[in-house]
Structure 1
Amino acid sequence: MTGNLYHGQAGLPFSSALRIYEPLAAFPEGQQQTLREAGSRSVSRAAVENAELLASLGRITRPGGDPFPTGATDLVRILAAPRTDSPPGASPTAGGGLPDAGTPGTGHPDGLLYCPSQLVLRAGLAANALMEGIHGPLAQLLIPEEQRDKHQERIDDVRAHAGLGRVHTRASTWGIPFSWFCLFQESDPTDVVESEGHIVTVRIRATIGEALERVRYAVAHLALAAPDLDMLEDLTQLTEWLELFHAESTVELDYGAVADKVYPDESPMDVRLGIECLAEGDMTGAAAAYRRLASRWIPIRQLARAS
């Protein structure tokens, strides 16, 4: 399945994701049964990724000009809750399947954490952002108003039935925002998924408590040392987003296919060192950290404008 996923990504924009996995109790009662059923099926992570990719490609070629997901088969990613007796940086699992749940942690009676895809909500937010951006006029031609209105009805229906107020996934194309790396350290549990000599993706995880501690540290130091830095606003928004979720959640950075171009990746360390240098007034060290980041990621971002 991972081989199909790798070949299916060929020619597509690099897409990465930042996801929040929450315990069952964090979701509305009406949604919990659906999540339990997804957990009982024990579908491998590779199968979920492949199904989502095939569904997205299918929407592009769907007759009638409606590119939006209907939500009829929304997918759920599942992660084993961290073991309460596991040391930081414990050995990760390889491949795309579910890791061993081990001993369920406090607040995780089924030993699992859940991240619903929420494609209906996310597609609506993405379309709105596109309409408000510099390519708005082109987007209006590609996505007719009739289809946007129809999708708004789907969003209203999803919100009415599921009561969803939090979007569990943030996505980025052609590179990973530097602010995301503030949530992780090189010692965090990491999965490297490979197929046919290529890296399909790399996934790094941290508890939401660890992620919040790290991002608040970064915000506090940048606010004093570099208050005009664009990254400070990104980190502030990221903090506000993380604070919406259950205290026993897990945060995951999924590199996607870009991992094959950049891994092994020292970006979390470079971002952390850059912030520490700024806090200490070491402009030379901060500049060196940024140069390392730029040499790694600017060529990836330039691919977005390549013909």
Structure 2
Amino acid sequence: MTGNLYRGQAGLPFSSALRIYEPLAAFPADQQTVLRAAAAHKASRAAVENAELLASLGRITRPGGDPFPTGRTDLVRVVEAPGRTSPPGPPTPDAASAEGPQGAAGALLLYCPSQLVLRAGLAANALMEGIHGPLAALLIPEEQRERHQERIDEARAHAGLGRVHTRASTWGIPFSWFCLFQESDPTDVVESEGHIVTVRIRATIREALERVRYAVAHLALAAPDLDMLEDLTQLTDWIELFHQDSVVELDYGAVADKVYPDDSPLDVRLGIECLAEGDMTGAAAAYRRLASRWIPIRQLARAS
């Protein structure tokens, strides 16, 4: 299964994720048992990604028309705490070998539960409230939405969690996410069959908060009407919900094969610095570099 990760994404929308990994102590006691079991299973990262992809495809073709996850199983991603992660290096040659069992003996592990039930509910609500709401109502019958709301209520009552650890984006990465990272952060480049499967960049939550607060402070003064300022403010509020020893991860997903090597974190930082200094020419140049890289990706969403 691990060797099919790249082929399994062919023809699907590019999907990227921003994840928070927390130490075990940040979770309720009943969920800690589940997380320990996931770590003990030692599933490779590629196996987790494949399982999630196959499960999502299975829900699309499930008899009965219910596209929502049931919550019977919830995948967990595990990384080692800062100081034990690999430094930036050359691409790894194969997804299966690059993402072997995690957690050396004695390593402090951090956990990111998929929380598919909660995330699917949030996504459905956003779809229903958007411009495609009438179409969504046809695709997701009210009966199925009500049944899934019961799963959401049960998941919240059981896990005791109000925090969603993952944000997802299709057809491109929001520019605000790049404010959390710098080019010197630990980076994993995963390749398979001559393609880049994904690129993952990680930063400690302290570093991420310092960077996003810096961006918010400068944009509030230099460009208070910029849409990105609102995005960054919401992003800050979200990150502040988590344990101070957490790690933030940007997972490019399959779009990495189109854009990597990627200077977007640098271009976003330079653009904000130029705005703060009143250098409109420099800010415009940084935006043009970003636009030339990401607008073609976003246009694929409307391609036939």
Residue of structure 1 equivalent to 2:67: 67
SS of residue paired to 1:223: helix
Query: 2:19 touches 2:249 (CA, 8 Å); kept in 1?
Result: yes
Alpha-carbon separation, structure 1, partners of 2:24 and 2:194:
37
Residue of structure 2 equivalent to 1:237: 234
Report how far residue 3 of structure 1 moved: 3.3
Residue of structure 2 equivalent to 1:184: 181
Alpha-carbon separation, structure 2, partners of 1:2 and 1:195:
10
- Letter aligned with residue 100 of structure 2: G
- Aligned ranges 1:71-220 → 2 under 5 Å: 71-83=71-83, 90-91=87-88, 94=92, 95-98=98-101, 101=104, 104=107, 111-220=108-217
Structure 2 gaps of 5+ residues are 93-97
Report how far residue 73 of structure 1 moved: 1.2
Alpha-carbon separation, structure 2, partners of 1:2 and 1:229:
42
Cα displacement string for residues 113-154 of structure 1 (whole angstroms, at most 9, x for unaligned residues): 000000000000000000000000000000000000000000
Query: 2:189 touches 2:199 (CA, 8 Å); kept in 1?
Result: yes
Residue of structure 2 equivalent to 1:55: 55
Q: Does 1:225 pair with 2:228? A: no
| TM-score of the superposed pair, with normalisation by structure 2 | 0.95
Query: 1:79 touches 1:98 (CA, 8 Å); kept in 2?
Result: no
Residue of structure 1 equivalent to 2:264: 267
Alpha-carbon separation, structure 2, partners of 1:44 and 1:3:
12
Query: 1:101 touches 1:112 (CA, 8 Å); kept in 2?
Result: no
CA 1:235–1:98: 2 relative to 1, 3 Å? farther
Alpha-carbon separation, structure 2, partners of 1:278 and 1:141:
45
SS of residue paired to 2:172: coil
Report how far residue 82 of structure 1 moved: 1.3
Report how far residue 96 of structure 1 moved: 2.3
Cα displacement string for residues 12-47 of structure 1 (whole angstroms, at most 9, x for unaligned residues): 000000000000000001100000010111110000
Query: 2:87 touches 2:187 (CA, 8 Å); kept in 1?
Result: no
Q: Does 1:299 pair with 2:296? A: yes
The size of the alignment, in residue pairs, is 298
Query: 2:88 touches 2:185 (CA, 8 Å); kept in 1?
Result: no
| TM-score of the superposed pair, with normalisation by structure 1 | 0.94
Cα displacement string for residues 248-294 of structure 1 (whole angstroms, at most 9, x for unaligned residues): 00000000000000000000000000000000000000000000000
Alpha-carbon separation, structure 2, partners of 1:56 and 1:90:
32
Alpha-carbon separation, structure 2, partners of 1:193 and 1:100:
18
* Seq. identity, %: 85
SS of residue paired to 2:74: coil
- Aligned ranges 1:27-38 → 2 under 5 Å: 27-38=27-38
Report how far residue 97 of structure 1 moved: 3.2
Alpha-carbon separation, structure 2, partners of 1:285 and 1:254:
28
- Letter aligned with residue 55 of structure 1: A
Q: Which consecutive segments of 4 or more residues in structure 1 shift more than 4 A?
A: 91-94, 98-104
Q: CA RMSD for the aligned pairs?
A: 1.5
